C-alpha cells in the first residue's frame, strides 16, 4: 500500500512511503551496523523528532543501482536513530516520479533526466517536475562508441548509411546517441537501420557482421565489450574537440570523459567521449537535517561502500557535490562544512 510523506506535521515526525513507489516490495536490511571511518557504530539522531523511514528506488534486482541502494539502506537503518530503511527496484525515469510524489525518499537517476523533468519535455511532457534535489553524484558512466577492429569506420561522420545499435528508446545511452549524431549533422533517418537492443545482443550483431557500430553507456571495462575485443577486436570512436563542444553546449548535464588507452584490446590510445554521472536524489521537502545526516553518513562510510561496488571509488566529496542539478540544502550544508564547496 502506498504511503505519502508527511513531513513536519505537529510532532515533526517524518513518515515516508512504502515500496510501491519503486515497484515490487523489498526486504528490510538485516546486516550488522556498518562502521564509519572512525570505527563508530553509534546511531545519529536528526533534530527532526520521531521515526525516520526511508525508501530508496534503484533499478532492476542484481544491477549496480540495486546493490548500492541496498548497502545505503543498510547504512541508514543501522546508523540513524529510529530509522527504517529499505531499497527496492525502479528505473531512472520512474524514480523521479516516485521521489517527486513522496512515494520514495531517495532515488537513483541521471541529471539530464531531472533537467527534462524540470523543463517538462520528453518523458515529462505536460507533467513538469521541479521538486527533485541532489544528494550526491555517485559514479560516472561512459558512452562507448565502438566498431570492430577491421572496420573502415574511423569517425562518427562515417556512420551515414550504416547499421548501428543502441539501447532502448528513452534510455540515457539512447538519448546520448541521438545527441552525438546530431552534433555531426546526422539522425537515425541517415542510418541504414537502428537496432534498439541490449549490450550483449549488440555485441553479437557486431560479431556476426549484422551491425557496424554500437553506442552503449557503462562503466569500464565492460565485460561484453571485452568479449568483443577478444573475439573480433574492437575500435572505440573518439569525439573531436569541435563536435565534443557542440554536444556539451547542447547538453549541460553531460561531461567530457576519457576511456584510457589499453582498457580494451585493440584500442591503445585514450578515447574522448561523453558521460553522465549517476546521482542520488531526494525531494526538496525532505528536512534539511535529515538530508545532512544521510549525506554525512555516506562519506563517513565511504571505505565500506566502495567494497560493495568499486565504481563508488569515484564518490569523493569533491566529485559528489557536482551533480548537474540543484543540491538539497542539507547536502549543500555538508559539502560546505567540509570544504568541498565554497561558502
Distance of CA 3 to the CA centre of its chain: 25
List C-alpha distances in Å: 326 to 115, 153, 253, 329: 10, 40, 12, 9
- Matching fold, domains 6-131+284-337 and 141-276: yes
Confidence (pTM): 0.76
12 band by pLDDT with thresholds 50, 70 and 90: very low
CATH 3.40.50.300 matches 141-276: no
Q: Is the pLDDT of residue 18 over 70?
A: no
132 band by pLDDT with thresholds 50, 70 and 90: very high
Considering the four listed CATH numbers 3.30.460.10, 3.40.190.10, 3.90.550.10, 3.40.50.920, the one that applies to the domain covering 6-131+284-337 is 3.40.190.10
Cell numbers that stand for 166 in this block:
543502441
Sorted by where each begins, the domain ranges of the chain are: 6-131+284-337, 141-276
Encode pLDDT of 30-85 as tens digits. Answer: 333 333 333 344 556 555 567 889 999 998 887 889 999 999 999 999 998 889 99
pLDDT at 54: 95
Q: How many residues does the chain have?
A: 343
pLDDT at 48: 57
Residues whose CB falls within 8 Å of the CB of residue 96, separated by 6 or more in sequence, listed in order: 107, 109, 113, 114, 117, 124, 129, 132, 281
Encode pLDDT of 304-327 as tens digits. Answer: 999 998 889 999 999 999 999 999
How much is the average pLDDT of 96-123? 95
Amino acid at each position: 500500500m502506498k504511503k505519502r510523506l508527511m513531513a513536519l506535521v505537529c510532532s515533526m515526525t517524518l513518515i515516508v512511503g512504502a515500496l510501491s513507489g519503486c515497484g515490487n516490495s523489498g526486504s528490510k536490511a538485516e546486516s550488522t551496523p556498518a562502521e564509519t571511518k572512525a570505527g563508530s557504530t553509534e546511531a545519529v539522531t536528526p533534530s527532526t523528532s520521531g521515526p525516520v523511514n526511508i525508501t530508496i528506488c534503484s533499478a532492476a534486482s542484481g544491477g549496480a543501482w540495486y546493490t548500492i541502494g541496498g548497502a545505503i539502506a543498510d547504512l541508514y537503518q543501522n546508523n540513524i536513530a529510529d530509522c527504517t530503511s529499505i531499497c527496492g527496484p525502479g528505473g531512472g525515469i520512474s524514480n523521479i516520479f516516485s521521489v517527486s510524489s513522496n512515494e520514495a525518499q531517495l532515488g537513483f537517476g541521471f541529471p539530464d533526466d531531472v533537467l527534462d523533468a524540470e523543463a517538462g519535455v520528453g518523458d515529462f511532457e505536460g507533467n513538469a517536475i521541479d521538486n527533485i534535489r541532489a544528494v550526491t553524484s555517485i559514479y560516472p558512466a561512459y558512452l562507448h562508441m565502438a566498431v570492430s577492429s577491421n572496420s573502415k569506420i574511423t569517425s562518427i561522420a562515417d556512420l551515414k548509411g550504416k547499421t548501428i545499435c543502441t539501447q532502448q528508446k528513452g534510455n540515457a545511452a539512447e538519448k546520448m546517441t541521438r545527441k552525438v549524431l546530431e552534433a555531426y549533422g546526422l539522425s537515425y533517418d541517415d542510418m541504414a537501420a537502428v537496432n534498439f537492443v541490449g549490450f550483449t545482443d549488440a555485441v553479437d550483431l557486431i560479431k556476426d557482421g549484422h551491425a557496424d557500430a554500437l553506442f552503449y553507456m557503462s562503466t569500464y571495462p565492460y565485460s561484453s565489450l571485452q568479449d568483443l575485443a577478444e573475439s573480433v577486436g574492437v575500435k572505440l570512436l573518439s569525439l573531436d574537440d569541435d563536435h565534443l563542444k557542440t554536444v556539451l553546449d547542447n547538453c549541460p548535464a553531460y561531461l567530457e570523459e576519457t576511456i584510457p588507452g589499453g582498457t580494451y584490446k585493440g584500442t591503445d590510445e585514450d578515447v574522448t567521449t561523453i558521460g553522465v554521472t549517476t546521482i542520488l536524489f531526494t525531494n526538496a521537502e525532505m528536512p534539511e537535517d535529515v538530508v545532512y545526516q544521510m549525506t554525512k553518513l555516506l562519506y563517513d562510510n565511504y571505505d565500506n561502500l566502495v567494497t560493495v561496488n568499486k565504481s563508488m571509488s569515484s564518490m569523493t566529496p569533491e566529485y559528489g557535490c557536482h551533480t548537474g542539478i540543484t543540491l538539497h540544502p542539507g547536502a549543500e550544508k555538508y559539502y560546505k562544512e567540509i570544504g568541498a564547496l565554497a561558502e
